[in-house]
Amino acid sequence: MSKTKVAVIFGSRSAEHDVSIVTAIASIIKPLELSAIYEPVPVYIDKQGRWFSHPRLKDIALYTTGQIDDFLSKQKPLLLQMGGGMKITWPGIKPKSVKLGAVFPATHGTHGEDGELAGTLEMANVPYVGCDMPSSVIAMDKALAKTIASYEGIPTPKYVWFYSRDFMGDNDSVLTKLSGLTYPLFVKPVHLGSSIAISKVNSAKELINAIEVAAHYDDKIIVEEAINNLIEVTVPIMGNASPKAALVEQPILNSDNVFDFESKYIRQGKKGGAKSSESAQGYSKLPADLPKELYAAAEELAIKTYKAIGCSGIARVDLLIDSKTKKVYFNEINPMPGSLYAHNWKKSGLSNLKLAENLIDLALERFKAKQKLTTTFKTTYLKQY
């Protein structure tokens, strides 16, 4: 029996472009090359948004040596065909086409993880791994995710959100809205990650400056109360109807207690790190060093949040714990965890191959269930014309 072709899509127009290359190659493509049932087909979206596929795109050295631009200049972008599944075509005198059995998105951040890719794949009616479009859109908006979570009874730090233009237009009315919050406060652009343009502030003056900074990066801003006596944990979750957690993991914070891009990706951090997943554990406690009840509470809250946001396939839920009050709060949810958080799943007993295969199985299961839904409805509407 021939193997099911699975396009692993990575790169794209995102600040996390390079992280996505590592996720795709190290955690998905390489393990799947050993699969007896699935065959990975690399699909690389370059920084301009062009789609390419070639066996050489599976080679990490192509990117690390900077040869990628030269290589792509000799390649023709793919043609995509959608409807009743997805077909990719290599153009040329003798064009070659492949019908995909499934798609494995491995993009992080904008133009991918944010729901745009899921929406495209949904339109194409092809099975795909990971969160669907609505859950991705919610997850990638810190204000929307907190609003939905708190509506479902999930504790979050007390927060207020507003549009950047409202602050620019009427500074005072936004500050009045924020006056119910107690310092110290965190100011965050709602759509960004990697701690970009995030500030911790202690006074009204700092608050205004921080909002102005955040407004340069995003059209929507969230301001929230800081959780004291902080323990941060992150919980990878997998599944459709009955999601299961991997190990609760506790990243080691840097000196000012805020994660930054450097500590996350360069020095190996909680995103899973930019190099081997094992070394990511050097910067986290796995499993987290928490009293039994608190560990169970974190696991439970993470699964509850995953369900409330409507996630499927995989996601990673970040929680903030006040170690004095023992209260657990939802911070954010990532629809495509860096490197799939494979190091954590491995420690939970799942090999890289099994992890990737299970995720494709879940994609096929969700697709099958969705095909059963009725999408047609016979009417006499057109008869009146």
Ligand X SMILES: Nc1ncnc2c1ncn2[C@@H]1O[C@H](COP(=O)(O)OP(=O)(O)OP(=O)(O)O)[C@@H](O)[C@H]1O
Which residue bears the tokens 């500050």?
175
> Nearest-CA neighbor of 40 among 123, 84, 120, 105?
105
Q: E strands, 46-119, where?
A: 51-52, 79-82, 86-90, 96-99, 102-105
d(CA 240, CA 98): 28
Q: Please choose, out of 10-18, 92-100, 124-132, 192-200, the segment that lies near ligand X by the rule CB under 6 A.
A: 192-200
Nearer to ligand X, 178 or 226 (CB): 226
Q: Which of 53, 250, 331, 344 binds ligand X (CB under 6 A)?
A: 331
Q: Which of 38, 44, 186, 345 binds ligand X (CB under 6 A)?
A: 186
From the CB of 304, what's the least distance to ligand X, in Å? 19
Nearer to Mg ion, 101 or 269 (CB): 269
Q: Which of 195, 240, 323, 358 binds ligand X (CB under 6 A)?
A: 195
Report if residue 193 touches ligand X, rule: CB under 6 A: yes
Report if residue 157 touches ligand X, rule: CB under 6 A: yes
Report the interhelical angle of 204-217 vs 171-178 (nearest 10°): 110
Q: Please choose, out of 69-77, 152-160, 177-185, 311-319, the segment that lies near Mg ion by the rule CB under 5 A.
A: 311-319
d(CA 43, CA 22): 13
User: b/e for 344-367, b at 16 or more Cβ within 10 A?
Assistant: bbbbbebebbebbbbbbbbbebbb
d(CA 365, CA 323): 40
Nearer to ligand X, 90 or 261 (CB): 261
Report if residue 154 touches ligand X, rule: CB under 6 A: no
Which residue bears the tokens 């005198």?
93
- Considering only residues 51 to 80 of the shown chain, the ones binding ligand X according to CB under 6 A are none
From the CB of 150, what's the least distance to ligand X, in Å? 13
Nearer to ligand X, 255 or 375 (CB): 255
Q: Please choose, out of 111-119, 199-207, 238-246, 313-321, the segment that lies near Mg ion by the rule CB under 5 A.
A: 313-321
Q: Please choose, out of 37-45, 185-193, 352-360, 362-370, the segment that lies near ligand X by the rule CB under 6 A.
A: 185-193
Q: Which of 54, 108, 188, 346 binds ligand X (CB under 6 A)?
A: 188
d(CA 79, CA 176): 52
Q: Please choose, out of 67-75, 131-139, 210-218, 316-324, the segment that lies near Mg ion by the rule CB under 5 A.
A: 316-324
Nearer to Mg ion, 42 or 236 (CB): 236
| Residues binding ligand X: number (CB under 6 A) | 20
Report if residue 320 touches ligand X, rule: CB under 6 A: yes
Nearer to Mg ion, 53 or 339 (CB): 339
Q: Which of 16, 114, 224, 249 binds ligand X (CB under 6 A)?
A: 224
Question: How many CB atoms are located within 10 Å of the residue 385 CB?
Answer: 4
d(CA 185, CA 193): 18
CA atoms within 13 A on the CB side of 308: 22
Question: Per-residue DSSP letters for 32-77?
Answer: HTT-SSEEEEEEEE-TTS-EE--GGGG-HHHHHTTTHHHHHHTSPP
Which amino acid does the sequence have at 359? L
Question: Degrees (nearest 5) of the Cα angle 269, 271, 274?
Answer: 70
d(CA 268, CA 370): 38
Nearer to Mg ion, 128 or 330 (CB): 330
> Nearest-CA neighbor of 232 among 323, 157, 145?
323
Q: H or E segment at 229?
A: none
- Interaction partner, residue 224 (Mg ion, ligand X, none; CB < 5-8 Å by kind): ligand X
Contact residues for ligand X, defined by CB under 6 A: 157, 186, 188, 192-195, 198, 224, 226-227, 230, 232, 258-259, 264, 318, 320, 331-332
Contact residues for Mg ion, defined by CB under 5 A: 318
